[in-house]
C-alpha cells in the first residue's frame, strides 16, 4: 500500500500553456482604446493636440502589436498550448489551467489578472484624471 505522499508524487501536473487566451488580448486592446479615449479629454489650445496625437499613435501601435500577437500561432504545437489560441477552449477552462511564465507556473486566471492589472490601472486612472480635468475646466469657465 502506498502512502499519500507517494501517491501525490505519482500524479502528473497538467501541461501548462504559455499562450494567452484570445479574451485576454481583447481585454488588453479594449483597455488601451479606453485609455486613448480618455487621453483625448485633455484637448486644448497650443501643443496639447500634437502631443495627444503622438501618445495616441504609441498606444495604437501597441494595440496593433497585440493584434499581431493574438493572430500569430506557434509553429510547434507539441506543448499542448495551441488549444487556447485556436478558440477551442473556453475562457473558463483556460483560466482554470496553468500558465507557464518566465518565473514559473501560476494559475492561468491569476496570470491574466497580473497581465491586465497595469493597463487597467492606467486606463481607470486616465479616466479619473479626464473627468477631473473636465470638471475643473467647466468650473473655471463659469
Q: How confident is the model over 111-124, as pLDDT tens digits?
A: 999 999 999 999 99
- Residue 105 grid coordinates: 507556473
The HSE-up count of residue 113 (CA atoms within 13 Å, CB side) is 7
Average pLDDT over residues 127-134: 94
Q: Where are the domains of the chain?
A: 17-73+80-141
pLDDT at residue 142 is higher than 70: no
pLDDT tens-place string over residues 64-112: 988 887 777 544 454 454 444 445 578 999 999 999 988 889 999 999 9
Position 85 scores a pLDDT of 45
Cβ–Cβ under 8 Å, residues 116 and 31: yes
Query: Would you put residue 21 in left (φ > 0), alpha (ψ -120 to 50) or beta?
Result: beta
Three-state SS string over 21-45 comes to CHHHHHHHHHHHHHHHHHHHHHCCC
Residue linked to cell 501541461: 15
**DSSP tag of 17:** B
More confident residue, 126 or 75: 126
pLDDT in tens, 8-57: 555 666 678 888 888 998 999 999 999 999 999 888 767 788 888 998 99
**Which comes out higher in pLDDT, residue 13 or 125?**
125
With beta carbons less than 8 A apart as the criterion, state whether 57 and 65 touch: no
73 CB-side CA count, 13 A: 12
* Closest by CA position to 33, among listed 8, 67, 3: 67
Handedness of CA 59, 65, 66, 68 (dihedral sign): positive
Amino acid at each position: 500500500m502506498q502512502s499519500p505522499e507517494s501517491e501525490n508524487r505519482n500524479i502528473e501536473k497538467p501541461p501548462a500553456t504559455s499562450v494567452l487566451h484570445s479574451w485576454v488580448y481583447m481585454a488588453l486592446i479594449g483597455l488601451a482604446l479606453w485609455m486613448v479615449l480618455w487621453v483625448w479629454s485633455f484637448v486644448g489650445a497650443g501643443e496639447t493636440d500634437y502631443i495627444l496625437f503622438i501618445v495616441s499613435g504609441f498606444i495604437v501601435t501597441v494595440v496593433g502589436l497585440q493584434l499581431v500577437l493574438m493572430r500569430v500561432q506557434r509553429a510547434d504545437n507539441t506543448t499542448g498550448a495551441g488549444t487556447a489560441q485556436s478558440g477551442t477552449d473556453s475562457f473558463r477552462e483556460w483560466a482554470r489551467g496553468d500558465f507557464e511564465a518566465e518565473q514559473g507556473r501560476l494559475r492561468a486566471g491569476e496570470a491574466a489578472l497580473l497581465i491586465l492589472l497595469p493597463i487597467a490601472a492606467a486606463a481607470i486612472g486616465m479616466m479619473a484624471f479626464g473627468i477631473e480635468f473636465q470638471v475643473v475646466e467647466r468650473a473655471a469657465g463659469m
